[in-house]
Amino acid sequence: MPGLGITLGRGGATTSLQDLQNADCILIEGSNMAEAHPVGFRHPMLAKEKNGAKLIHVDPRFTRTSALSDIYAPLRPGTDIAFLGGLINYVLQNERYFEEYVKAYTNAATIITEEFRDADVTGLFSGWDEETQQYDMAKWSYANDSPRYAASGGSQLGSDNGEKDAGSEADSSGTTDKEQEVVGQDLGGTSGQDLDSRASDETLQHERCVFQILKRHFSRYTPETVEKVCGTPKEAFLKVAETVCENSGRDRTTALVYSVGWTQHSTGVQLIRTAAILQLLLGNIGRPGGGIMALRGHATIQGSTDIATLYDILPGYLPIPNAKRRHGTWEEYLESETAETGWWSNFPKYATSLFKAWYGEAFDPARGEEVYSKFPRIDGDHSYYPTIMAMKDREVEGCFVFGQNFAVGGPHGKMAREALRSLEWLVVLDAYEIETATAWKLDGVDPQSCDTEVFLMPSGLVAEKDGSFTQTQRMLQWHDKAVEPPEDARSDAWFMYHLGRRIKELYADSEDPRDALIKHLTWDYPLEGAHDEPEIEAILKEISGYYVENGEPVDGFKDLRDDGTTACGGWIYCGSFAGGVNQTRRRKAQSDSEWGWAWPADRRTLYNRASADPEGKPWSERKKLVWWDEEKGEWTGGDVPDFERDKPPSYRPEKGAKGMAAIGGDVPFIMNEDGRGWLFAPVGLKDGPLPVHYEPLESPVPNALYRQQRNPGLKLFPGRPDNPYNYPEDPRYPHVVTTYRLTEHHTTGAMSRWNPWLNELQPELFCEISPELAQEEGIENAGWVTVETSRGKIHCKALVSDRIPVYRFDGRRVHTIGLPYHFGPNGLVTGDVVNDLLPVSLEANVSIHEAKAFTANIKKGRL
Ligand SMILES: Nc1nc2c(c(=O)[nH]1)N[C@H]1C(S)=C(S)[C@@H](COP(=O)(O)OP(=O)(O)OC[C@H]3O[C@@H](n4cnc5c(=O)[nH]c(N)nc54)[C@H](O)[C@@H]3O)O[C@H]1N2
Ligand SMILES: Nc1nc2c(c(=O)[nH]1)N[C@H]1C(S)=C(S)[C@@H](COP(=O)(O)OP(=O)(O)OC[C@H]3O[C@@H](n4cnc5c(=O)[nH]c(N)nc54)[C@H](O)[C@@H]3O)O[C@H]1N2
Ligand SMILES: [Mo]
């Protein structure tokens, strides 16, 4: 999640569920933790029991989590930036920030270019280009010697954001050269960035220093504005603000918990960045009981982004070569993705070791070009949703679906099912006959009219195979096969391995240069059992890394080299097989540190150097975690230090130092090139250096804070009549819809709608509405209703409940309709597909849809 990555250096949760027990206050916002993470929720409950911790829930609905919290604050869906911005303003205006932490560990003192203009009244920062609808990030840079590299997402300035068409290639490479000249000029063209020469004001008074910019920027977010925009009563907001401040500082810490109530918005990334800024100001990052707990969903969804199913990254968040960036040759790729200073100066070691793991002897870094020139490049947004549209437009011939049911789970479900019917062939590997595999007979379509050839392959499920899950706190846990998969069912690894093996056999004699990588790919996993299953531990060994010479495992990523002597299939997991032992299998009861294995390097709390002051002493006895042991000359404490173990707090880089040598002993955010947390992001995000409240794409109200209504970076498809949007304040669709989960079902219901016990508990789709809305529309509890948007309509029963607050906006009443999204046409219990209501719209940075806030109308009966 770049909201965290750009600010702190890594995109993952900064803390662990167990550490929530050490918190004095836990703010749960954008998550219904008691309902969707009921097992993990025991840790906040224990914090309450053990430390008298205060639990706060901020949610559009009063839920099971709200019921167990000390404070509940309602807010209108899609307005969290205003709420969190309000908290930031409260902290700054009332001087409740952790001053020493902010001065030492963030970029608060850094001075920004004179060219920078804040979003003020317009809602647009300097650098906005109306024509291309993009920002020029150079207009947000530091006053001199600005970073051009963001820890999450790699090189940024000088790229064209990967969006422009080929015609502007020349321009973009021109910019690259200019950027490099600037870096070179300042330093006589010989050495790297000199962080000391960066203009800064340690007193935080300079009017262009980050701290003052931040203060001015958030000064609009007053408690009154929060009440107006979010509909949160001012008293409730102030109570939250005061409770969070009281429980932050030297002696106390507040943790923040979020999940997809925050991500699935047109401002999702900036929203989470707002939370990271708040936690930095309060000094809550890297300390026990603090941090940001990003709750992940599916069993190994963290793992699937780490080792890497996203279309634009390679394992370990290395950017995939991009046709529109300076990635033409192996040298250019390495050069442009290597930061001068900070941890990402190690990029060549990780990229080289990855290519070595994949292509073995064929890959020699000295002649890296041979393999790299054949390696695929991306040339645009090929994320999930544009691909679905391309499928529908018959630009995609075939599709493999593993463990996903997007006929129900993706936005604009109707379009997704039509897309499936437009394919020539479709392979679905799943344990159930899911809607994605049966689109050919849904929606009243005559199967005869559908040409798609569908292969539904029965998959094994978790108990039927070995493997690891990487769960929500970056922790890998191993599981062993309990039983063989029944009949023809096979594991996904079996399917992939044998598909790869057969393809390699087919191409073995090809002389075509473009087939070289298929031929070179190492595909030598040992096989076992009656069905020739690949040995899964062998795959973990490759991911963990080894010396090429003798196959001996490396201990961790510090051992990785860029000369081809080491191989590693995913540098952040490096060391998970250290010593030849499967570290992810560890199960030492009552021990957090020897239970499973957490990336990176088995650290449980990220940035834990920040739990000590600049001199290396704990900020307080109560909140100590990692500190400098002067006698031993190393960092020590209750966690693996997230710092070079023997770098003393007094270490100061020499002028022109490079790599990690440029990072002082007194700055904890080692992934960022200046070692500091970024309150202001001079580079990295496509929709601004600071978060701004925009209304959701579909909203019943105008933006009360800025002229700009919605996120300007949002990617839309205005030319598609099959994907219409409800416009702002659209009288046809006056209510806000938000979608969510129930404990008794799982996501699209693909797995849970076949289970009679669960079905008895939650037998059908419903929508939750307030008594006031029910009365207005003449709707009765348990009566049928129709919910409609410009994409489609669904039928369901009404659940009339005062758990759904009604929001006020400028004298208007804004109603919310809550819809669980677990139903579809297959299974023992069935219901309409809620996602048929949603449009396809893409957030600027990660292309996520907006399932948590869109507009609709509701009418009595089945219309
Ligand atoms: N039993 C069960 N457990 C699950 C799942 C399941 O389907 N069933 N799914 C798993 C998966 S894949 C995931 S990703 C997680 C998701 O876990 P959660 O994110 O906790 O799940 P949701 O219920 O989708 O949404 C959380 C809350 O966000 C609120 N919300 C909606 N809009 C907004 C908003 O604008 N602001 C704020 N502050 N809150 C908002 C909703 O009212 C809801 O209470 O759960 C995982 N756990
Ligand atoms: N409106 C709305 N839409 C949403 C959301 C929302 O909050 N609101 N949440 C979004 C989120 S966070 C998520 S994660 C998605 C979930 O959307 P999907 O991932 O599409 O939904 P699931 O039902 O979890 O699909 C998982 C499938 O994997 C299969 N499966 C289980 N184990 C295995 C295995 O080992 N191998 C294989 N091959 N298959 C297996 C299951 O049978 C199931 O069919 O939905 C998203 N869509
Ligand atoms: Mo999820």
From 35, 61, 260, mutation site for ligand 1 pocket: most ligand atoms within 8 A of C-beta: 260
Fold of the CATH domain 735-860: Barwin-like endoglucanases (2.40.40)
Atom of ligand 1 at shortest distance to CA of 852?
32
Q: Is the CB of 78 under 6 A from ligand 1?
A: yes
Cα(298) to centroid of ligand 3, in Å?
6
CA dist., res. 651 & res. 654, Å (int): 9
Task: Give yes or no for a cis peptide into 600 (omega within 30° of 0).
Answer: yes
From 256, 740, 743, mutation site for ligand 1 pocket: most ligand atoms within 8 A of C-beta: 740
CA dist., res. 739 & res. 59, Å (int): 12
Q: How confident is the model at residue 12 (pLDDT cuts 50, 70, 90)?
A: confident
Q: Which of 392, 396, 393 is nearest to 407 (CA)?
A: 392
CATH 3.40.228.10 domain span(s) along the chain:
2-108+222-298
So what's the pLDDT on residue 11?
86
CATH 2.40.40.20 domain span(s) along the chain:
735-860
The percent of residues in the chain predicted with pLDDT above 90, rounded, is 86
Host H or E run for residue 283: none
CA dist., res. 60 & res. 556, Å (int): 44
CA dist., res. 792 & res. 835, Å (int): 9
The residue whose two tokens read 């089945």 is 862
What is the average pLDDT across 47-60? 97
The pLDDT tens digits for 81-108 are 999 999 999 999 999 999 999 999 999 9
In 473-530, alpha helices (H):
492-507, 516-520
Cα end-to-end span (Å), the chain: 41
- Does residue 184 have a pLDDT over 70? no
Provide φ and ψ at 264, rounded to 5°. Answer: -85, 60
Concatenated DSSP letters of 793-828: EEEEEEEE-TTSPPEEETTEEE-EEEEE----SSSS
**Smallest CA separation from ligand 2 atom 39, residue:** 403
Provide φ and ψ at 637, rounded to 5°. Answer: 135, -155
Contact (CB, 8 A) for 715 and 162: no
The residue whose two tokens read 């992940």 is 296
Query: Is the CA virtual torsion 10, 275, 134, 700 positive or negative?
Result: positive
Q: Is the CB of 750 under 6 A from ligand 1?
A: no
299 burial type by CB count under 10 A (0-12 exposed, 13-18 middle, 19+ buried)? middle
CA dist., res. 194 & res. 496, Å (int): 47
Cα(31) to centroid of ligand 1, in Å?
5
**Long-range pairs for 278-281: beta carbons < 8 A, 24 or more residues apart:** 278/84, 278/87, 278/88, 278/91, 279/254, 280/7, 280/8, 280/101, 280/102, 280/105, 280/106, 280/677, 280/679, 281/88, 281/91, 281/92, 281/97, 281/98, 281/102, 281/106, 281/679
CA dist., res. 586 & res. 740, Å (int): 34
Q: Which ligand is nearest to the CA of 741?
A: 1
Q: Which of 471, 473, 427, 479 is nearest to 453 (CA)?
A: 427
CA angle 573/578/583 to nearest 5° reads 75
Structure tokens at 232: 């949160």
Those residues with Cβ within 8 angstroms of residue 121's Cβ, 6 or more apart along the chain or in another chain: 706, 707
From 404, 847, 848, mutation site for ligand 2 pocket: most ligand atoms within 8 A of C-beta: 404
* 10-14, 95-99, 328-332: least confident range: 10-14
Q: How confident is the model at residue 194 (pLDDT cuts 50, 70, 90)?
A: low
- Does residue 162 have a pLDDT over 60? no
From 737, 748, 835, 849, mutation site for ligand 2 pocket: most ligand atoms within 8 A of C-beta: 748
**Alpha-carbon distances, residue 651 vs 616, 661, 664 (angstroms):** 11, 9, 6
Structure tokens at 261: 């109530």
Contact (CB, 8 A) for 107 and 141: no
CA dist., res. 29 & res. 31, Å (int): 5
**Chosen CATH of 2-108+222-298 out of 3.30.310.50, 3.30.70.3270, 3.40.228.10, 3.40.1390.10:** 3.40.228.10
So what's the pLDDT on residue 310?
86
Number of CB atoms found within 10 A of residue 622's CB: 15
- Does residue 335 have a pLDDT over 90? yes
- Does residue 172 have a pLDDT over 50? no
Q: How confident is the model at residue 653 (pLDDT cuts 50, 70, 90)?
A: very high
482 burial type by CB count under 10 A (0-12 exposed, 13-18 middle, 19+ buried)? exposed
Cα(63) to centroid of ligand 3, in Å?
19
Q: Is the CB of 661 under 6 A from ligand 2?
A: no
In which order are the strands placed within the sheet that holds 453-458? 398-402, 425-430, 453-458
What is the average pLDDT across 808-830? 96
Q: Is the CB of 231 under 6 A from ligand 1?
A: no
Cα(80) to centroid of ligand 3, in Å?
19
Contact (CB, 8 A) for 401 and 426: yes
What is the average pLDDT across 349-353? 97
The pLDDT tens digits for 412-425 are 999 999 999 999 99
So what's the pLDDT on residue 156?
53
Q: Which of 353, 358, 319, 404 is nearest to 539 (CA)?
A: 358
